[in-house]
Amino acid sequence: MTDSAPPLAGVVGWPIAHSRSPVLHNHWLRRYGIDGYYIPIGLHQQNFEDGIRALPKLGFRGVNVTIPYKETILALADTVSDRASLIGAANTVTFREGGAIHADNTDGAGFLESVRAGAPDWSAKSGPVLVLGAGGAARAVVSALLNAGAPEVRIANRTRQKAEMLAEHFGGRMVQVDWERAADAADGARLIVNTTALGLTGKPPLNLSLDAAPDGASVVDIVYNPLETAFLARARARGLNAIDGLGMLLHQAAPGFESWFGVKPEIDDALRRAVLPA
Ligand code: ATR
């Protein structure tokens, strides 16, 4: 790469057409007058390793990594941040000297930032949290909550064994709750988080009663397609504070942008509108 080549970054996955990350990062690039590009890169499994290793030679400063490579990337990484290692997955790669791959996971921190933005009075230490789901997103969310000092994280998942494994992995402050009893587990929870695929366009809605949730609790749906899920509508109808999934998408993106392009980007309504036009 010569000094005059524009800085590049991108998102690697398969399929990749659905990703909102290019819109988001290119909005920031334009806003800060940076002459760079953020590019969607679709790589088949058999080309993944060669493809990733070629990127720094082509001028890429780093990439986001998405489905299905969030776990696979760890095996190729030269260095892995503590949080990515604890979560067992990475979403943000920065290329260092000689093309060395540094893998980090900003999903959990992005989740926390979005909750803090949507519920300024909330603190992880303020009480139990109920997490629905036990997939990759749940791992990032649970890890961040525990790290921020949550006294108890209740976890309910359709496939019970996955919730048990996650509870075992993260230890003492985790409580596994049967999926059928999840509504009862909202009792006393200061924060209730949907990390399942329920509510996504094309999937059934998440049909969980929030009657047992205490007044003043916040409800987060990390689904952002659509932004207004039936679950969030139910939270609002119950008078609870509802936080949509777009905030997490925006906040998880910021550290990568800063590491590749050297500017800490702003997250505001203009960005929200650019990423998800009404
Ligand atoms: P992600 O990385 O986004 O978390 P994932 O690892 O595929 O995606 O996890 C999807 C989550 O949605 C899982 O908790 C899954 O439950 P199972 O572990 O039982 O599969 C949950 N999920 C998907 N469809 C569901 C449904 N119809 N009912 C209940 N939970 C569902």
Residues 75 and 122 in one domain: no
- Residue located nearest, by CA, to atom 30 of ligand 1: 158
SS3 (DSSP) at 119: coil
70 catalytic residue (yes or no): yes
Residue 156 CB–ligand 1 contact under 6 Å: no
Number of structural domains in the chain: 2
Condensed to tens digits (0 to 9), the pLDDT of residues 74-111 reads 999 999 999 999 999 999 999 999 999 999 999 999 99
Q: Is 252 annotated as a binding residue?
A: yes
Condensed to tens digits (0 to 9), the pLDDT of residues 147-182 reads 999 999 999 999 999 999 999 999 999 999 999 999
Contacts (Cβ under 8 Å, ≥6 apart) of 133? 157, 194, 195, 196, 197
At 228, is the pLDDT very low, low, confident or very high (cuts 50, 70, 90)? very high
- Answer yes or no: is pLDDT of 2 > 90: no
- Count the Cβ atoms, other than its own, within 10 Å of residue 127: 17
- Answer yes or no: is pLDDT of 3 > 70: no
Residues 63 and 157 in one domain: no
Residue 194 CB–ligand 1 contact under 6 Å: no
Dist CA 107 CA 92 (whole Å): 9
Residues 262 and 140 in one domain: no
Dist CA 216 CA 4 (whole Å): 53
What is the pLDDT at residue 276? 86
Q: Which atom of ligand 1 is nearest to the CA of 162?
A: 18
Contacts (Cβ under 8 Å, ≥6 apart) of 103? 65, 73, 74, 77, 79, 80, 81, 84, 90, 92, 93
Question: Ligand 1: distance of its center to the CA of 140 in Å?
Answer: 14
At 277, is the pLDDT very low, low, confident or very high (cuts 50, 70, 90)? confident
For residue 208, being part of any structural domain is answered with yes
Dist CA 274 CA 61 (whole Å): 24
SS3 (DSSP) at 150: coil
Contacts (Cβ under 8 Å, ≥6 apart) of 198? 204, 205, 206, 207, 223, 231
Residues 96 and 165 in one domain: no
Mean pLDDT, range 253-273, rounded to an integer? 97
What is the pLDDT at residue 221? 98
For residue 2, being part of any structural domain is answered with no
- Residue located nearest, by CA, to atom 14 of ligand 1: 133
Residues 159 and 101 in one domain: no
Q: b or e along 69-93 (b: 16 or more beta carbons within 10 Å of the residue's beta carbon)?
A: bbeebbebbeebbebbbbbbbbbbb
Among the listed residues 57, 70, 203, 264, the single catalytic one is 70
What is the pLDDT at residue 11? 98
> Residue 114 is part of which domain span?
108-244
For residue 1, being part of any structural domain is answered with no
Residues 139 and 178 in one domain: yes
Residues 87 and 178 in one domain: no
User: Of all residues in the chain, what percent carry a pLDDT higher than 70?
Assistant: 99
Condensed to tens digits (0 to 9), the pLDDT of residues 23-82 reads 999 999 999 999 999 999 999 999 999 999 999 999 999 999 999 999 999 999 999 999
- Quote the pTM value: 0.95
Condensed to tens digits (0 to 9), the pLDDT of residues 192-211 reads 999 999 999 999 999 999 99
- Answer yes or no: is pLDDT of 278 > 80: no
Instruction: Confirm if 73 and 43 have CB atoms less than 8 A apart.
Output: no
Condensed to tens digits (0 to 9), the pLDDT of residues 180-191 reads 999 999 999 999
For residue 3, being part of any structural domain is answered with no
For residue 153, being part of any structural domain is answered with yes
Dist CA 213 CA 197 (whole Å): 22
CATH code of 81's domain:
3.40.50.10860
DSSP 24: H
Residues 128 and 25 in one domain: no
At 4, is the pLDDT very low, low, confident or very high (cuts 50, 70, 90)? confident
Instruction: Confirm if 25 and 267 have CB atoms less than 8 A apart.
Output: no
ipTM over 0.95: yes
